Amino acid sequence: MNGTGLVWYVAYGSNLHAARLTCYLRGGRPNGGARTYPGCRDHSPARRSVATALAGTLYFAGRSPTWGGGSAFYDPSVRGEVPCRAYLLTAGQFSDIAAQEMRRSPGPDLDLDRVLAHGRAELGPGRYETLLHVGQLDGHPLLTFTAPWGVAGAELAAPAAAYLRTLGAGLAESHTWGPWRTAGYLATRPGAQGHWTPGAVAALLG
């Protein structure tokens, strides 16, 4: 696939929030974050966005250089459902967003043929360096990225308050979830569970 072909980027973490995704597209620093992003080569907004869900679970692990605390990852092997938001982008934009998540500089287009053919492609051992092909929508592939390890092999870590606020804003924006539904979901994810209560997360979300 060349860089001008269209793909759906399926976001399940902070990029559920459109303003946060804009920092990857146009460059900038997300509200509450500590890192400024260079942006994509093509600053155009997503052509469409739709609420969707994936089978699996969301978990928090490692330490985010942007937010502090655990980052959100997706494990498709665990029973459950993960609310997501799919953005219709060019393959080049998806490549540049993935590069920024992988702590690389945007530039070369990713070779997506392998992930489209096999459903999974590991570009490296680090976080967000594993690409997944998770379906089709309106004739375009649904793609996301996560860690090569699953929740069972992860170093779980509690997410930071600013990160949870961003995820909460994204769930409200994309799925119209209220604070208590959002808090009940986020506080019970592996990594957050035992460190955050639904009441504490709901208070963050206002």
Give me the DSSP letters along the chain: --TTSEEEEEE-SGGGSHHHHHHHHT-B--TT-S--B---SS-PPPS-EEEEEEESEEEEES--TTTSBPEEEEETTSSSEEEEEEEEEEHHHHHHHHHHHTT--S-SPP--HHHHHHSEEE--SSTT-EEEEEEEETTEEEEEEE-SS-GGGS-B-PBPHHHHHHHHHHHHHHH---HHHHHHHHTTSTTTBTTB-HHHHHHHH-
pLDDT for the residue numbered 169: 97
CA distance 30 to 190: 24
Show the CA angle centred on residue 161, arms to residues 175 and 73, nearest 5°.
Answer: 60
pLDDT for the residue numbered 2: 67
- Mode of pairing for the β-strands spanning 6-11 and 81-90: antiparallel
pLDDT for the residue numbered 106: 92
- Would you give per-residue pLDDT tens digits along the chain (206 residues)? 766 799 999 999 999 999 999 999 999 999 888 888 999 999 999 999 999 999 999 999 999 989 999 999 999 999 999 999 999 999 999 999 999 998 888 988 999 999 999 999 999 888 899 999 999 999 999 999 999 999 999 999 999 999 999 999 999 999 999 999 999 999 999 999 999 999 999 999 98
pLDDT for the residue numbered 3: 60
pLDDT for the residue numbered 6: 97
- Cβ distance 93 to 2 under 8 Å? no
pLDDT for the residue numbered 197: 98
Strand partners, 37: 28
CA 14 to chain centre: 6
Closest C-alpha among 139, 23, 15 to residue 86: 15
Q: Phi and psi of 168, rounded to 5°?
A: -65, -40
